[in-house]
Amino acid sequence: MITIHKGVTNHTIKTQTTLLPFLLETLSGLSRNAVKSILTRGQVAVNGKTTTQHNHPLEPGDIVGITSNKVAKKTTALKGIRILYEDDALIIIHKDSGILSMADRSQTEMTAYSQLTSYVKEENKKNRIYIVHRLDRDTSGVMVYAKTEAIKLALQKDWHTIVKERTYIALVEGVITEDKGTIRSWLTESKAMKVHSHNYDNGGKLAVTHYRKIRANAHYSLLEVELETGRKNQIRVHMEEIGHPVAGDKKYGAQTNPLKRLGLHASTLSFVHPTSGKIIRYNSKTPKDFLYHSK
């Protein structure tokens, strides 16, 4: 058993079993109904993913995290974000569409950053949160924040080396005929804050995007997109460049908005943990409306 942070414990599975029997054995001091309630309230995660299924299969090496009632009450107060993982160095979250990663000076609305700051200060008023990277307001999915400035700087300094996988799901307009492809160009940003793509090195930032078609209908294609580089608006610009803008992205050429949001979701983030040196990987499921509009 490994304690990850105050109020949350991780248990490494030794033998094949299912979730409820494991919990009943591990939490033997609680009644069966109390254990079921912990599961139903979403206080249990398997390999970083919350599950409420009693019969969820467990294999040797799986990690089962159990959140205490006290911590669960704190995290339920979070709006539009959900903590996937936390330790002394990091907090990894899922962010809903419509939530800012962090406000600028002209914005005073609730953000992921402001909520996480309040969350860590409940334990110690001196605690702080540091932003490592951002997602656009209308992009949902996995994000990581640092708990110390040193961790933030370590991650940002070697971000492209540390990150092993950064994958998005994109709902784009039109039917992409190729099963997969790579887009390579140089990006520059105008004074109007719009990013432009060029197929030659004009002094801009090199951007490389790989995509794979998952499925398509007559109107939309659902893509898995992996970033080799992480430039501002990279996926949005590259999708416009190949004639298939991200659905709902009026700024970069979209004509439709079936999701009433940007059709972009950060599904997977895998990177080397800055203190343990181990590769950790967290996922956020593809939103159901992305699947509905591409079936």
Question: What residues form DSSP beta bridges with 246?
Answer: 172
Nearest by Cα to 27 from 51, 11, 49: 11
Amino acid in the structure at residue 251: K
DSSP state of 143: E
Antiparallel, parallel or unpaired: β 130-131 and 90-95? unpaired
CA atoms of 197 and 250, how far apart (whole Å) = 17
How far apart (Å, rounded) are the C-alpha atoms in residues 19 and 55?
6
Six-digit token pair at 192?
């109007």
End-to-end CA distance of the chain: 43
Quote the CA–CA distance of 155 and 172 in Å, as a whole number.
31
* Residue corresponding to tokens 């799986």: 62
Positions marked catalytic: 136
